[in-house]
């Protein structure tokens, strides 16, 4: 049985004052799922100070594909390690769309995270046009394959996958539980299909769903056999909603 994991993606939201209230709120009540928050880089120190010793993990929303050097504006995985990050999102559709991240870049970022002992949350997902053209499996399959090609079996045993249909992000349109389950099952089966050594990895792989998850649809989504929790945008900014999803 895979334990449910619910990760908040704050995106580019927050302030020291607002975060203090939010973090105090989510620390106040234990949730049934494991919880974590992925926050803007400047707030990692605040999360480390507020969440150390709690059951809530924290992490970043991106990491450099490089380890060090003349890469102005980039943040390297060992730096995230300095701030106690457990997780880092890689390949979020907003990074792929607005920053031109390719499947190969995303796979390299996942590798850099793992080398620093940080769990990459590898995001995959199709656009509405791709879904309507019947390309969902081809698109998420291609995004996943780049990661499977770049990582060892041992490393694949340490990643988290997140299926986020681009058309469901911030739109209030959620994939139905059946639509999401179908893609999650496909992703798990793609990992298993790589060979018998991957069977165990595939069976244990946490696959989160993201895209307009709210307190009122989380339980239905999380009841599906291949949905192991959620990656939550908007609803992670309110302690009450985030906790309700963590208890769904």
Instruction: Kindly list the residues in this chain that would bind ligand 13P in the complex (CB under 6 A).
Output: 9, 92, 164, 169-170, 210-213, 231-235
Q: Is 164 a catalytic residue?
A: yes
Question: Which member of 50, 94, 101, 164 is catalytic?
Answer: 164
CA-nearest of 219, 201, 212, 209 to 235 is: 212
Question: What are the phi and psi torsion angles at 25 (to 5°)?
Answer: -65, -45
Least distance between ligand 13P and beta carbon 93 (Å):
7
62 within 8 A of 38, measured Cβ to Cβ: no
Which tokens is 129 given?
């046009």
Cβ distance to ligand 13P smaller for residue 8 or 148:
8
Least distance between ligand 13P and beta carbon 149 (Å):
24
159 within 8 A of 149, measured Cβ to Cβ: no
Q: Is 13 a catalytic residue?
A: no
Least distance between ligand 13P and beta carbon 78 (Å):
24
Cβ distance to ligand 13P smaller for residue 147 or 198:
147
Least distance between ligand 13P and beta carbon 62 (Å):
12
Q: Cα(74)–Cα(216) distance, rounded to whole angstroms?
A: 37
DSSP assignment letter at 111 = H
Name residues whose C-beta falls within 8 Å of residue 99's C-beta, 6 or more positions apart in sequence: none
| Nearest residue to ligand 13P on Cβ basis | 233
Least distance between ligand 13P and beta carbon 193 (Å):
27
Q: What is the DSSP string of 164-202?
A: --GGGTTSS-PPPHHHHHHHHHHHHHHHHTT-GGGHHHH
Q: How many CB atoms lie under 10 A from the CB of residue 124?
A: 26
Cβ distance to ligand 13P smaller for residue 89 or 151:
89
Question: Which member of 50, 92, 94, 184 is catalytic?
Answer: 92
Cβ distance to ligand 13P smaller for residue 121 or 146:
121
Cβ distance to ligand 13P smaller for residue 198 or 243:
243
- Rounded to 5°, angle at Cα 140 from 135 and 144: 150
Task: Using the CB atoms, write b or e for 83-106: b if 16+ within 10 Å.
Answer: bbbbbbbbbbbbbbeeeebebebb
The set of catalytic residues is 92, 164
């Amino acid at each position: 049985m895979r334990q449910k994991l619910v990760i908040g993606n704050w995106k580019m939201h927050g302030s020291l004052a607002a975060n203090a209230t939010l973090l105090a709120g989510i620390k106040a009540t234990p949730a049934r799922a494991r919880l974590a928050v992925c926050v803007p880089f400047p707030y990692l120190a605040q999360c480390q100070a507020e969440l150390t010793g709690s059951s809530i993990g924290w992490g970043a929303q991106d990491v450099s594909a490089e380890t060090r050097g003349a890469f102005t504006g980039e943040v390297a995985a060992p730096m995230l390690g300095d701030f106690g990050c457990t997780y880092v999102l890689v390949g979020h559709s907003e990074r792929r769309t607005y920053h031109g991240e390719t499947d190969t870049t995303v796979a390299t970022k996942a590798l850099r995270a793992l080398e620093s002992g940080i769990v990459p949350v590898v995001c995959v997902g199709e656009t509405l046009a791709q879904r309507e053209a019947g390309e969902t499996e081809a698109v998420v399959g291609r995004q996943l394959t780049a990661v499977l090609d770049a990582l060892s079996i041992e490393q694949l045993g340490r990643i988290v996958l997140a299926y986020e249909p681009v058309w469901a992000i911030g739109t209030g349109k959620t994939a139905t539980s059946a639509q999401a389950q179908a893609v999650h099952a496909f992703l798990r089966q793609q990992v298993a299909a790589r060979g018998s050594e991957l069977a165990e990895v595939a069976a244990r792989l946490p696959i989160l769903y993201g895209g307009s998850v709210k307190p009122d649809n989380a339980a239905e989504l999380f009841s599906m056999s291949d949905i192991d929790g959620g990656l939550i945008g908007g609803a992670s900014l309110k302690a009450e909603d985030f906790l309700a999803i963590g208890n769904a």
